[in-house]
Structure 1
């Protein structure tokens, strides 16, 4: 099969020849995908002139060549799409082996370059109504690229209200193609100057259906095409699913550890209860009358603690950290710490373990000890 450069060279020569024979002028396309339209127009013009031309054999030959070239270009473009999709699938397969969200974010820019055929990629975050370029990766590490990374590092967050292209992507949830950034009013001008872009594509990242970031990609030696936009969009969609899976696995691991911690706490309490029963059984029974003094039970626990302190203590018993408790109850970490201190003081215990032990004793069967 011919190369892209060979097909483009043959196409330009045939367009000039056909335009001269048909007496028509057509614009020269910028890339291989742009040849189909001009060739279609010239084929139609040649067919109209074929019956009345004094050189029908010459026109018929040009017409046949134009038709052959159209089909050959379409076949090449179809094969290129398949090859790039195969390369994309291979890159995504490597990412699926990563189960850590931070690891995925560290590798995503490099993965786009390797699997999608770009020379540079920028990852950015969307937080509420703000956009913040975050990190980039490029095949070269020349001075302009280092300056671009420094621009990203020092750039403050940007209001999406002031951006057109990125706001469109948030609203439409579709990738974008920018072929002439200097003339496109949607482009963020500081990005255009810092990255020295001649054309680029961008796609939103939507792990849960909500846009949380963008991927911007460009090529140094060629203009990007609609196929580049489609490839980046397909990567962004698949990466969103991979990232969501990694986040859910991380939460599952965290919850599993909390359950294990709670089970260890319960095991400790049960061992204490078993030891206490043995101690009581080994003592001589001197009286059948119950011991004097208050009976500690779940009722007295509710009398000692406020409703919020009971909620905090119940979460402590599951092994939850202060941060986790704050997240569950939608309060500040400092507020949780204050509640924990008051709980320890009211229960007359020294640490969290003793408080949890006492809570479980008082709530398991609501019995005294």
Structure 2
């Protein structure tokens, strides 16, 4: 390999080193690479002029080895983060059934996906943030970590400016804090107790509101945190927010369905009560009966439909109409039924019209009540 080619490769290594080193904790690596590469360039220039001897070549080899060692150390210190791991962790969180389960599992999944040693999730309540759970990759083996885990459960920290977390909640952006022990905007008491050197933190946003915070560091490995750690945490926190929001909505929907079901069952029970002539409803005081002339009697309009028993009306429905009626009984709207059955909303309205006619019901509430009575009768048989 010619000296010119070696010089070209040396220049490319230098460019890559500058791009990879970035700033902050990688500054020391960048300085060491600059010094080593500069020495290599001087020796390459001497070799190109033909004035290099065996001793210079040995020194050149030593410099090359130093560059190799430095780059290798830099590579080992980088987090083993990959987008695939983040998405796999979020997929596991989606399997959780409640919002609380999502929050409780998030710190452990974050450590597994982002190569962090510690992760803490907190709830944002008004003008405070309250640590909820601390996950430690050492399994709480040390007494220090056990005490730290107990300590954070008693904290309620004000979101006062210029605290880092207050800015994160306000701007909804993640942050990387390098020197946590000396950072005046960090919560100094927690930093001292946890012995945190540097950390990353990101907001958890659900339904347009910051509902929590995710903190993480590399306490055990002592590797320097980088902007890549901050970005991976942001990706993970964004996913947690969406999964949390979905879990909350599903819980509300399930509760609404329970309330609707209870209301219809209550109406069904009222309809099932047999008439008792001995029971008299409270009313006004008895007055003297007055005969009303036939000419003054106003006839009420009769309901345009045939009154049928619930089972008889249900038997006349088609399979699709029964499916539509079952969805209506679960509390679904016309639009939701149309989306569930992959049909137009106008088609659903047509089905509802036919259902009311066949069941002899004045409106959909009456049809649903008769449907529930028929189902209840079927269960009793």
The TM-score bracket by the shorter chain reads: 0.5 to 0.7
User: 2-side partners of 1:159 and 1:143: how far apart?
Assistant: 28
Listed as ranges, the matches of 1:84-123 within 5 Å are 85-123=83-121
Larger RCO (CA within 8 A; separation ≥ 6): 2
Listed as ranges, the matches of 1:340-351 within 5 Å are none
Aligned partners of 2:168 and 2:203 also within 8 Å: yes
1:203 match:
202
Q: Cα distance, 1:248 vs. partner?
A: 0.7
Aligned partners of 1:201 and 1:224 also within 8 Å: no
Q: Cα distance, 1:152 vs. partner?
A: 1.6
Partner SS for 1:206: strand
1:39 match:
33
- The 3 A distance-change label for structure 1 pair 70 and 135 is closer
| Structure 2: runs of 5+ lacking an equivalent | 1-9, 14-20, 279-288, 293-364, 370-381
Aligned partners of 1:92 and 1:238 also within 8 Å: yes
User: 2-side partners of 1:128 and 1:238: how far apart?
Assistant: 22
Partner SS for 2:160: helix
1:170 match:
169
Partner SS for 1:102: helix
Match of 1:55 among 44, 47, 52: 52
2:151 match:
151
User: 2-side partners of 1:81 and 1:108: how far apart?
Assistant: 16
Is structure 2 residue 131 aligned with structure 1 residue 130? no
2:233 match:
232
User: 2-side partners of 1:44 and 1:232: how far apart?
Assistant: 37
- The 3 A distance-change label for structure 1 pair 134 and 162 is farther
User: Max radius of gyration: which structure?
Assistant: 2
User: 1-side partners of 2:187 and 2:213: how far apart?
Assistant: 14
User: 1-side partners of 2:77 and 2:87: how far apart?
Assistant: 18
TM-score computed with the length of structure 2 as normaliser: 0.55
Q: How many residues align?
A: 258
Partner SS for 1:266: helix
Listed as ranges, the matches of 1:221-300 within 5 Å are 221-226=221-226, 227-272=228-273, 275-276=274-275
Partner SS for 1:180: coil
Structure 1 vs Structure 2 CA RMSD? 4.4
Greater mean deviation of Cα atoms: 170-179 or 32-41: 32-41
Deviations 1:276-325 (A, max 9, x none): 5999xxxxxxx9979xxxxxxxxxxxxxxxxxxxxxxxxxxxxxxxxxxx
Aligned partners of 1:181 and 1:197 also within 8 Å: yes
Aligned partners of 1:199 and 1:223 also within 8 Å: no
- The 3 A distance-change label for structure 1 pair 289 and 67 is farther
- The 3 A distance-change label for structure 1 pair 38 and 278 is farther
